[in-house]
Amino acid sequence: MARGAPELPGRYDELLGANGRTRAGQGALASFLRRISLHDLNQRKHDAELAIRSMGITFTVYNEGENIDREWPFDILPRVIMKPEWDRIEAGLIQRLRALNLFINDVYNDQKIIKDRVLPRDLLASSKNYRAICRGVQPKFNVWAHICGSDLVRDADGTMYVLEDNLRIPSGVSYMLENRNISKQVLPELFAKYNILPLDNYPSKLLGTLKSISRHTSRYPEVVVLTPGIYNSAYFEHAFLAQRMGAELVEGTDLIVGKDDRVYMKTINGLSRVDVIYRRVDDLFLDPEVFNAHSCLGVKGLMRAWKKGHVAIANAPGAGVADDKVIYTYVPDMIRYYLSEAPILPNVPSYRCAEKLQRDHVLQHLESLVVKPANESGGYGLYIGPMESKRRTEKFKRLIKAHPRDYIAQPIIQLSTVPTLCDGGIEPRHVDLRPFILQGKQSYVTAGGLTRVALVKGSLVVNSSQGGGSKDTWILGKQGR
Amino acid sequence: MLSKVAKKMYWFGRYTERTENIARMINVNTHLALDLPRSDHIWGSLISITGLEEDFFDRYSIQNEKNVLKFLLTHHVSSLRNCIRQARENARTTRELLPNEAWEKINDLHIYLEKNSHLGVKRNGRHALLKTIIRRCQELTGYLTGCMSNIGAYHFIKIGRNLERADMTTRILDVGCLNLLNPDHPEIQEHEYILWMNVLVSLAAYQMYRQNVMEGVNGEDVAVFLLKNQHFPRAVSHCLAVVMDCCEELPNNVRAKRSVRHGQSAINACRVSQLLEESRLHWFMDEVQLDLADIHAQVAASWFGYEK
């Protein structure tokens, strides 16, 4: 049966090229789609839904003050990327995270990048996620962001851009792994035909990374996952990763900082030392002694313990300084500055509203641009020019003029499309991609990542909290294994 | 293991066991209702077993079959449906410890009950529903026995399961006594045999009893068997022995063990024939339940609440 529509002008379809011909490497998938009936596909979709239900793969949505545990939205048709292209992306992501870590370590220590006038000083001072309390700390390997989820988008000409880097508490990796489990169940014959790079070693790579940052080399490191609890939207993932790593899943109330400034967990044997905390709690809730005094999620004295080097925290407090979307615009400069290398992966071209010339351009062309607040995530607070009312456009003009530092603007990226099983058959839908990058003693990138897909026709919004779905992502090695 | 996790494992064990027990009780009462000449009053005894009369009468005025079934299957916090919700919630928040398939089983049962628990209110759908619940609970127990390492987490599941089991055995025995002594329904006396047999059947104890006791089915032997037998898994003595074994394996166990030992000696010392003669079996069941409550309190104090 079907046939994604051939490429329309201004849109890049990853399966079919301009002339309607299948792109290189996509042949097996395309011929599978041509052969299989819609009925059979829907049956497999149904099987996948049953599996998701029975495995209890859920995410939580906050809606009108209520937490709703929803089943994970999954599209059974995979997205295929060829290994040579992926190798380049992987190298680019590792390069990027290395530079970002050097940057974070620099701003909390010597601040050379400011002294050398590559980054304006006031930008740092006004960054919401800059934590002055972290000044002078030097984590092991000088790495602050051990886990990074970077969002990649492919534009109309086929170029992969980095849309943003998530250095605070990136989520989604458990869904990436579960997606693979499900697609193995529902599309086994394609796995037989293709040489698909495996993913399942992520939890052990993550554990390796976390163990490598322990300060106490004399003992086997005790690693824990710190979760805000079952009402957090990513709780499923916290439990999943703890289980796969064989680490304890703790909440703030399970931990205590002793008089010796070391961190302990409360166990049936009494108190037990903790060496590494993989925290999924935001900076500001980590330690009521230092940050939000009313936080019940954190642990009193944790920052003290961390600053003394008694416990390692991943990602380190303060790592989010590089999450700032204005700082993002400087990442290519950082790569050149710290590594003396040319950036392998480009940023999406961006306008800094703080700079007058660029701001004027933004204000004049607002209707055709995307405006992003510097410090939001999850697609919140976004302004998408062509879709906005006049009133909101005026509002954003005022906001940008009043707080130029808080906004950047980008041209609209047409996000590439991939075939997706919709109610009426197979149709092209827009996607992005979030690979996960680890850095500790060594670096590692997942083979692929979490592909998020906008299930509504023509929509560019892929967030699961806003009606997006997900797909398994296949990195294809040489055929015939 | 984290104290919090120990607590959740314990409650997971209790709630899954409670689900199976409630299902068994309803099943047996349904049979009893078919065997006894006048049987409406027996539904009230199901509510007495659970000790929830007050909650029941907040909601309903008559203890008839329909109301009791609605209450036990779907409505109340201690209903079957809610027990599985609780068990699932405890499992969901300890997924890093519980084997994956165990989580899938409890999740499936939860989905099944959310959809189907109301089908048991009428007699024609009840048998299939209860049978499915009991089977799935046993699958879960069997799966854990076969696949979970006999260490920390599993000890707490076993402690929870066996305390719940012992508690239910005393409650079911108690209802036997209460029904027999009910002055409004003297005709029950004539059917004493049926009543005690149902007590055994509701605890899946009938066959094991027949293999173990030479005499026919009578109150004294049934009570002795269900209280004192060392080998039958639902006998109170056996349950307490399992709890004791688990406590032995755990650190900081002095208080909990002392409390279990106390319960064990009370069971060993009691003389059932005398209790029955003096109509004090009901009183004694209350005593055992208080002992069980104390064991729970000591387990909680030893391992769930963190103390310096």
Asked if B305 reaches chain A (Cβ–Cβ under 8 Å), the answer is no
Chain A: closest CA distance from residue B83 (Å)? 18
Beta-bridge partners for A444: A438
Answer whether 0.90 is exceeded by the pTM.
Answer: no
Domain span at residue A224 reads 216-310
pLDDT in tens, B17-56: 999 999 988 888 888 788 777 767 778 888 887 788 888 9
The pLDDT, as a whole number, for residue A7 is 42
Beta-bridge partners for A66: A63
State the DSSP H helix or E strand holding residue A451, giving kind and residue range, or none if neither.
strand A450-454
User: What crossing angle do the helices spanning B123-147 and B100-116 adopt, rounded to 10°?
Assistant: 170
Q: Which residue has the tokens 């203890």?
A: B63
> Measured between alpha carbons, how far is A349 from A293 in angstroms, rounded to an integer?
40
The tokens describing A78, both together, are 């995979």
Does a structural domain hold residue A146?
no
Set of chain A residues whose Cβ sits within 8 Å of the Cβ of B3: 254, 266-268
The pLDDT, as a whole number, for residue A435 is 98
Q: What is the mean pLDDT of residues A210-222?
A: 90
What letter represents residue A390's amino acid?
K
Chain B: closest CA distance from residue A72 (Å)? 15
> Measured between alpha carbons, how far is B26 from B38 in angstroms, rounded to an integer?
17
Contacts of B57 (CB under 8 A, 6+ apart): none
Write out B53-122 in H/E/C secondary structure. Answer: HHHHHHHCCCCCHHHHHHHHHHHCCCCHHHHHHHHHHHHHCCCCCCCHHHHHHHHHHHHHHHHHHHHHCC
The pLDDT, as a whole number, for residue B23 is 92
What letter represents residue B180's amino acid?
L
Cβ distance A268 to B6 less than 8 Å, yes or no, reads yes
A269 vs B89, B111, B251: nearest CB: B251
| Residue B35 near residue B188 (C-beta atoms within 8 A) | no
Set of chain B residues whose Cβ sits within 8 Å of the Cβ of A251: 4
Question: Residue A289 has what DSSP assignment?
Answer: T
CATH of the domain at A395: 3.30.1490.270
Set of chain B residues whose Cβ sits within 8 Å of the Cβ of A240: 95-96
Mean pLDDT of chain B: 88
| Annotated domain spans of chain B | 3-304
Does a structural domain hold residue A330?
no
Rg (CA), chain B: 19
pLDDT in tens, A248-284: 999 999 999 999 999 999 999 888 999 999 999 998 8
Asked if B101 reaches chain A (Cβ–Cβ under 8 Å), the answer is no
Chain B: closest CA distance from residue A96 (Å)? 32
The tokens describing B205, both together, are 């104890």
Set of chain B residues whose Cβ sits within 8 Å of the Cβ of A267: 1-3
pLDDT in tens, A423-480: 888 999 999 999 999 999 999 999 999 999 998 888 887 877 677 889 999 999 876 4
Chain A: closest CA distance from residue B131 (Å)? 21
Cβ distance A54 to B306 less than 8 Å, yes or no, reads no
The pLDDT, as a whole number, for residue A65 is 57
The tokens describing A231, both together, are 């009402």
> Measured between alpha carbons, how far is B214 from B230 in angstroms, rounded to an integer?
17
Does a structural domain hold residue A97?
no
The dihedral over CA atoms of B30, B31, B32, B36, expressed in degrees to the nearest 10, equals 110
Please report which confidence band the pLDDT of residue A119 belongs to, taking 50, 70 and 90 as the band edges. very high
Please report which confidence band the pLDDT of residue B187 belongs to, taking 50, 70 and 90 as the band edges. low
Asked if B152 reaches chain A (Cβ–Cβ under 8 Å), the answer is yes
Please report which confidence band the pLDDT of residue A63 belongs to, taking 50, 70 and 90 as the band edges. low
* Res A326 pLDDT > 60: yes
Cβ distance B111 to A53 less than 8 Å, yes or no, reads yes
pLDDT in tens, B157-170: 999 999 999 999 99
Verify that A293 and A361 share a domain, yes or no. Answer: no
Cα-based distances in Å from B249 to A102, A248, A269, A271, B293? 49, 21, 12, 18, 21
The pLDDT, as a whole number, for residue B226 is 95
Q: What is the mean pLDDT of residues A215-235?
A: 87
**φ, ψ at A56 (rounded to 5°):** 65, 40
Does a structural domain hold residue A244?
yes
Last residue in a domain, options A310, A327, A361: A310
| Neighbour tally for A103: CB within 10 Å | 26
> Measured between alpha carbons, how far is B177 from B219 in angstroms, rounded to an integer?
9
**Three-class SS of residue A473?**
strand
Q: What is the mean pLDDT of residues B80-97?
A: 87
Set of chain B residues whose Cβ sits within 8 Å of the Cβ of A225: 96
The pLDDT, as a whole number, for residue B149 is 84
* Res A47 pLDDT > 60: yes
Last residue in a domain, options A411, A436, A457: A411
B4 vs A55, A254, A270: nearest CB: A254
Q: What is the mean pLDDT of residues A95-103?
A: 98
Asked if A259 reaches chain B (Cβ–Cβ under 8 Å), the answer is no
Asked if B248 reaches chain A (Cβ–Cβ under 8 Å), the answer is no
Set of chain A residues whose Cβ sits within 8 Å of the Cβ of B89: 230
* Res A301 pLDDT > 50: yes
Asked if A50 reaches chain B (Cβ–Cβ under 8 Å), the answer is no
Set of chain A residues whose Cβ sits within 8 Å of the Cβ of B252: 268-270
The pLDDT, as a whole number, for residue A362 is 94
| Residue B84 near residue B109 (C-beta atoms within 8 A) | yes
Does a structural domain hold residue A463?
no
CATH of the domain at A274: 3.40.50.11290
Residue of A nearest to B156 (CA): A268
| Residue B9 near residue B148 (C-beta atoms within 8 A) | no
Residue of B nearest to A264 (CA): B2
**Three-class SS of residue A309?**
coil
Cβ distance B97 to A243 less than 8 Å, yes or no, reads yes
DSSP codes joined into one string, B10-48: HHHHHHHHHHHHHHHHHHHHHHHHHHSSS-TTHHHHHHH
The dihedral over CA atoms of A369, A374, A376, A382, expressed in degrees to the nearest 10, equals -10
Could you tell me how many residues make up chain B? 308
Asked if A59 reaches chain B (Cβ–Cβ under 8 Å), the answer is no
Set of chain B residues whose Cβ sits within 8 Å of the Cβ of A254: 2-4
Set of chain A residues whose Cβ sits within 8 Å of the Cβ of B103: 56
> Measured between alpha carbons, how far is B244 from B20 in angstroms, rounded to an integer?
23
What letter represents residue B146's amino acid?
G
Please report which confidence band the pLDDT of residue A140 belongs to, taking 50, 70 and 90 as the band edges. very high
Chain B: closest CA distance from residue A241 (Å)? 8
Is this complex's ipTM strictly greater than 0.85?
Answer: no
**Least confident among A47-51, B227-231, B253-257:** A47-51
Q: Which of A148, A48, A3 is CA-nearest to residue A469? A: A48
Last residue in a domain, options A247, A278, A310: A310
Asked if B223 reaches chain A (Cβ–Cβ under 8 Å), the answer is no
Set of chain B residues whose Cβ sits within 8 Å of the Cβ of A265: 2
Cβ distance B2 to A243 less than 8 Å, yes or no, reads no
Please report which confidence band the pLDDT of residue A233 belongs to, taking 50, 70 and 90 as the band edges. confident
* Res A323 pLDDT > 80: yes
Write out A53-74 in H/E/C secondary structure. Answer: HHHCCEEEEEECCEEEEEECCE
Q: Which of A183, A172, A296, A292 is CA-nearest to residue A237? A: A172
pLDDT in tens, B268-290: 999 998 988 888 888 999 999 99
Which percentage of chain B shows pLDDT scores above 90? Answer: 51
Q: Which residue has the tokens 């990853």?
A: A14
* Mutant choice from A268, A278, A280 vs B, greatest count of B C-beta within 10 A: A268
> Measured between alpha carbons, how far is A82 from A28 in angstroms, rounded to an integer?
13
Cα-based distances in Å from B59 to B26, B56, B116? 19, 5, 22
Asked if A24 reaches chain B (Cβ–Cβ under 8 Å), the answer is no
Domain total of chain A:
2
Set of chain B residues whose Cβ sits within 8 Å of the Cβ of A53: 111
Asked if B252 reaches chain A (Cβ–Cβ under 8 Å), the answer is yes
Residue of A nearest to B303 (CA): A268
A7-16, A238-247, A310-319, A372-381: which is most confident: A310-319
pLDDT in tens, A145-187: 999 999 999 998 899 999 999 999 999 999 999 999 999 999 9
The dihedral over CA atoms of A202, A205, A207, A209, expressed in degrees to the nearest 10, equals -130
Cβ distance A266 to B306 less than 8 Å, yes or no, reads yes
**φ, ψ at B294 (rounded to 5°):** -70, -40
Cβ distance B252 to A55 less than 8 Å, yes or no, reads no
| Residue A320 near residue A283 (C-beta atoms within 8 A) | yes
Does a structural domain hold residue A61?
no
Does a structural domain hold residue A367?
yes
A268 vs B103, B107, B152: nearest CB: B152
Chain A: closest CA distance from residue B4 (Å)? 7
Chain B: closest CA distance from residue A479 (Å)? 34
Mean pLDDT of chain A: 89
Residue of B nearest to A232 (CA): B93
Please report which confidence band the pLDDT of residue A481 belongs to, taking 50, 70 and 90 as the band edges. very low
